[in-house]
Amino acid sequence: EPEVTQTPSHQVTQMGQEVILRCVPISNHLYFYWYRQILGQKVEFLVSFYNNEISEKSEIFDDQFSVERPDGSNFTLKIRSTKLEDSAMYFCASSDWEKLFFGSGTQLSVL
């Protein structure tokens, strides 16, 4: 069964460093998303991406964040100058519109 894959599964970084989280969406999906889940909390929307541009973003997704689809298969989330409060599980998802399928996540720890 097709699935969304994310790498790395865990990322530890120093405060102020840049990180890139990678995702391979399901191949025939057109819509891509990043969500975040701080430990013990609900899953929060960050950004949606369609037709090579951001279609919607939340208040969390400020200038520190950017997304890119560098080729036909990868979808990345870049976090510049990481802060302690960026520590969370980051989930990539893809859909053909309604049903979103999520990856297993990248656990980001900012020290």
Partner 1 sequence: GQQLNQSPQSMFIQEGEDVSMNCTSSSIFNTWLWYKQDPGEGPVLLIALYKAGELTSNGRLTAQFGITRKDSFLNISASIPSDVGIYFCAGQGRGGATNKLIFGTGTLLAVQP
Per CB under 8 A, 103 contacts partner 1: yes
Tell me the closest approach of the beta carbon of residue 103 to partner 1, in angstroms: 5
Q: CB neighbours of 12 closer than 8 A, spacing ≥ 6?
A: 109, 111
- Which string of x and - marks every residue 55-94 that binds partner 1 (by CB under 8 A)? -x--x-------------------------------x-x-
Distance CA 71, CA 17 (A): 24
Which of the residues 11 through 40 are near partner 1 (CB under 8 A)?
A: 31, 33, 35
First and final C-alpha spacing in the chain: 37
Instruction: Establish how many alpha carbons lie within 13 A of residue 108's alpha carbon, considering only the half-sphere containing its beta carbon.
Output: 29
The contact set with partner 1 (CB under 8 A) reads 4, 31, 33, 35, 42-45, 48, 56, 59, 91, 93, 95, 97-105, 107
